[in-house]
Amino acid sequence: SDAMEPVVPVNFTSKMRSACFLDHRGRIVTDALLWKRPVGADNDDDIIEPPIDANKEVEYLIDVPGDAADTLLSHLKKYKLRRSRVKISDRSGDVSVHAVYGTLNAEGTPPGYVAAIDPRHPSLGMRVLSTGGDTSDEKGNNDAHEKRRLDFETMMSGYFPPSNGTYGVIRKLAGVAEGSELTGKTALECNQEFLNAVSFSKGCYLGQELTARAHHTGAIRKRVMPIIVVDVNTEIPRPWMMAHMIQEMGPDAIGPDSFLDVGDGDIPPPLPKISAPGAGGIVAMLMGSVLPLPKEDAEGEGAEQSDSSATVTATAEGSEKVAKLQKDGEILMDEVAAVAVPGAKIVDKKDGKTIGKVISAPAPGTTVILAQMRLDRVGLLGGDDQQWSRTNRILIGDGTKELRYLPYMPLWWPDIDPESGKENIEKG
């Protein structure tokens, strides 16, 4: 209707793109974000969108996770031709990286800053490079990154309050692995084609043979995905109850008049598809991170006093339940953090088989981990004999306590073809 607000498009830009570096075996060295700009550019106004003048010297800033930076630098230098004009250097001390959430506007940056919406997915926010200015403070200290961080926080404080560490939490809730978490794995198993980091139409590149073969033939049997780890006595949230029913009944048994029909004859996917904020909300509920009901003033006479007393009693009971949930949640987070270390195997107690491997420790304050999971064991690939079950029981790493896992599909995932484990082109 006329009263509806217009949809604001996400303004992606060609000055920045996601990428993935592979070795000669086709295995990932690291992912990265590439910034293209003329040498000496100070902010967005100096960035020239293609075609760039051939007479201008161009540089690429490779925005790479710190745990993989040295590995990538060695990798690039290994393949640099001796007489090449290309220069490769570490600019980590000259540039700081920030992320901003809650806006799709990455235009009009001030001098010393370059910004763009994260090309992997808008849920990862606006990416900002801080490149200029004097990095010494009033006392003469020269901690460049700390000075840039404080300057950026001061500049943005009137609009976006600082919250250090938010990027790492949101990234994991969104199901995005990066840096050394990906090292040694194949691009498609790590969803790089879904994150706009792989091209199947460009010319030759290192590792192309394995990547192209995996894309055009065979099946992808494992993928990196987020899972929520809960206690076996935890009540299963409704999205996973529905997923269990969908997988148990099968799509052929669910007709257009079924209560699971979401309209136009479409059936929900075999696993919940959840955004990062949605996943955070579910975890908060499971961990008891909610406020108790507000107390009502015990005023009035007779029946009013009786009703008020009942309300206070109910509120006290609710507060005790919340406190118990929070305590149990803290204990569970500690238990999961102790066993869900990178490389730890996830074993299904039903048959003793390994169904996944942890690639990233839990996001702070949660029990959400990133794991490379077998798609058939989460109901996304194969026949009816291997399905995800709401009554599953698993062991993680060296742990002896039985836990339960709730897998979900990130919002940016396309529909998955159950025959190939790749994007379902008919529905995508």
Instruction: Tell how far CA 48 is from the center of its chain.
Output: 30
Q: How confident is the model at residue 249 (pLDDT cuts 50, 70, 90)?
A: confident
- Tell me how far apart the alpha carbons of residues 277 and 292 are, in angstroms, rounded to a whole number: 21
**d(C-alpha 361, C-alpha 344), whole Å:** 10
Average pLDDT, the chain: 83
Which segment of 207-216, 340-349, 380-389 scores lowest on mean pLDDT?
380-389
Strand partners of residue 37:
59
Q: Please tell me which residue, 136 or 424, carries the higher pLDDT value.
A: 424
Choice between 300 and 386, residue whose per-residue pLDDT is larger: 386
pLDDT band at 138; cut points 50, 70, 90: low
Q: Is the pLDDT of residue 320 over 70?
A: yes
Q: Around 309, how many Cα atoms within 13 Å sit in the side-chain half-sphere?
A: 7
At 193, the pLDDT band (50, 70, 90 cuts) reads very high
Look at residue 293 in the predicted model and tell me its pLDDT: 45
Residue 1 binned pLDDT confidence (cut-offs 50, 70, 90): very low
Could you report the per-residue pLDDT of 292-310, keeping only the tens digit for each? 445 444 444 444 444 544 4
Could you read off the pLDDT of 352-366 as tens digits, one per residue? 999 999 999 999 899
Question: Mean pLDDT over residues 128-145, rounded?
Answer: 67
Residues 6 or more apart whose Cβ sits within 8 Å of residue 3: none
Whether 408 shows a pLDDT value over 50: the answer reads: yes
Residue 154 has pLDDT above 80, yes or no: yes
Per-residue pLDDT, 316? 67
- How confident is the model at residue 179, as a pLDDT? 96
Query: Per residue in 51-68, pLDDT tens?
Result: 556 667 888 899 999 999
Tell me what pLDDT residue 234 has. Answer: 93
Of the pLDDT bands very low, low, confident and very high (cuts 50, 70, 90), residue 182 is very high
pLDDT band at 14, cuts 50/70/90?
Answer: low
Distance CA 242, CA 229 (A): 18
Q: How confident is the model at residue 135 (pLDDT cuts 50, 70, 90)?
A: low
Lowest mean pLDDT among 6-10, 249-253, 379-383: 6-10
Instruction: Say what the pLDDT of residue 59 is.
Output: 86
Share above pLDDT 70 across residues of the chain, in percent, rounded to a whole number: 78
Better-predicted residue by pLDDT, 291 or 153 = 153
* Cβ neighbourhood burial of 238 (10 Å; 0-12, 13-18, 19+): exposed
SS3 track for the chain: CCCCCCCCCCCCCCCEEEEEEECCCCEEEEEEEEEEEECCCCCHHHCCCCCCCCCCCEEEEEECCHHHHHHHHHHHHHCCCCCCCCCCCCCCCCCEEEEECCCCCCCCCCCCEEEEECCCCHHHCEEEEECCCCCCCCCCCCCHHHHHHHHHHHHHCCCCCCCCCHHHHHHHHCCCCCHHHCCCCECCCCCCCCCCCCCCCCCCCCCHHHHHHHHHCCCCCEEEEEEEEEECCCCCCHHHHHHHHHHHHCHHHCCCCCCCCCCCCCCCCCCCEECHHHHHHHHHHHHCCCCCCCCCCCCCCCHHHHHHHHHHHHHHHHHHHHHHHHHHHHHHHHHHHHHCCCCCEEEECCCCCEEEEEEECCCCCCCEEEEEEEHHHHCCCCCCCCCCCCCCCEEECCCCCCEEEEECEECCCCCECCCCCCECCCCC
Check pLDDT > 60 for residue 92: yes
What digits encode the pLDDT tens for the residues 253-275? 555 555 555 555 566 789 999 99
Please tell me the predicted confidence (pLDDT) of residue 172. Answer: 96
Of the listed ranges 122-136, 172-186, 401-415, the one predicted with least confidence = 122-136
User: Comparing C-alpha atoms, which of 48, 40, 62 is closest to residue 132?
Assistant: 40
To 10 degrees, what angle do helices 166-173 and 276-287 make?
100
| Measured CA angle at 360 (ends 376, 408), to 5 deg | 40
Whole-number pLDDT of residue 393: 97
Please give the average per-residue pLDDT across 225-241, as a whole number: 95
Mean pLDDT of 30-50: 72
Residue 348 CB neighbours (<10 A): 19
Higher pLDDT among residues 322 and 188, named by residue: 188
pLDDT class of 345 with cuts at 50, 70, 90: very high
Distance CA 78, CA 87 (A): 13
Instruction: Report pLDDT for 3.
Output: 43
Residues 282-298 have a mean pLDDT of: 66
At residue 75, the pLDDT reads 95
